[in-house]
A = this chain, B = another copy of it.
């Protein structure tokens, strides 16, 4: 039986934290036909709120050390301000959006990241995604909008990386759908030369990934992103793209396609 197609898109700060860019993205997103899921971060807004409240923000390897106070700020910003801005913005374009954390309808269960060298505090690693409940929403023609908050099913909320959430959702949904996963960010894709924004590597497979890693073309923030991509592919996601939001409007826009 041919599986139905499902598109999972993750957007980051460059879109969320610019009102015009966000509105333009939501308009394009609403026009995508068929079932779709949106995942968003919002770290910059959380850091801004923390600063206004005089709460210290500490990052290690791009990840937020999440104290109890930081968690409240993350939940207020991601699940409150940003998620509801996106949901109401999509309703304007007749896309029937439903905002979710992992706690809502128990869709994503996580556990506290084990303390090795660093104690990240209330940061959760995903254990399971309830694909049945998410499919239930999609079957009602509802578009789930996930923010980067999960829970442990025992009363504790967690801050969880949005790229990882997108990858885990895409993987879990692959049981029932033919899933494409699209990471939208500020560039057009993975660059051969970081100083040349047009030097997009159009195709990366596992072998090329290792070569690029060794050559140190891929480094810093791009490493965990690519890791999420290949994990998703290994868990039966059909296609993964790293692209600019323009790609949603025009499929001919240059981007990076990833395959195993």
Interface residues, chain A, CB within 8 Å of chain B? 49, 52-53, 72, 75-81, 83-85, 87-89, 91-92, 96-101, 103-106, 133, 136, 140, 142, 149, 151, 153-157
Contacts and interface: CB of A to CB of B under 8 A. Distances in A.
Nearest to A157: B88
A83 B79 contact: yes
The secondary-structure label for the interface of chain A is helix
In the complex, the 7 A-B pairs of residues with the closest C-beta atoms, listed nearest first: A80-B80, A92-B155, A76-B76, A76-B80, A88-B103, A98-B105, A79-B80
A155 B104 contact: no
Contacts of A72: 81
Nearest to A87: B103
Contacts of A98: 100, 104-105
Nearest to A136: B140
Contacts of A88: 103, 151, 155-157
Contacts of A87: 101, 103-104
Contact of A79 (B84, B91, B154): B84
Contacts of A84: 75, 79, 101, 103, 149, 157
Nearest to A55: B52
A151 to B, nearest CB: 5
Contacts of A106: 91, 96
Contacts of A79: 79-80, 83-84, 99
A65 B77 CA distance: 22
Contact of A153 (B53, B78, B91): B91
Nearest to A74: B80
A87 B84 CA distance: 16
Given A78-B80, A105-B142, 13 more contacts: A53-B53, A75-B80, A79-B80, A84-B101, A87-B101, A87-B103, A88-B157, A91-B153, A91-B155, A96-B105, A98-B100, A99-B101, A136-B140
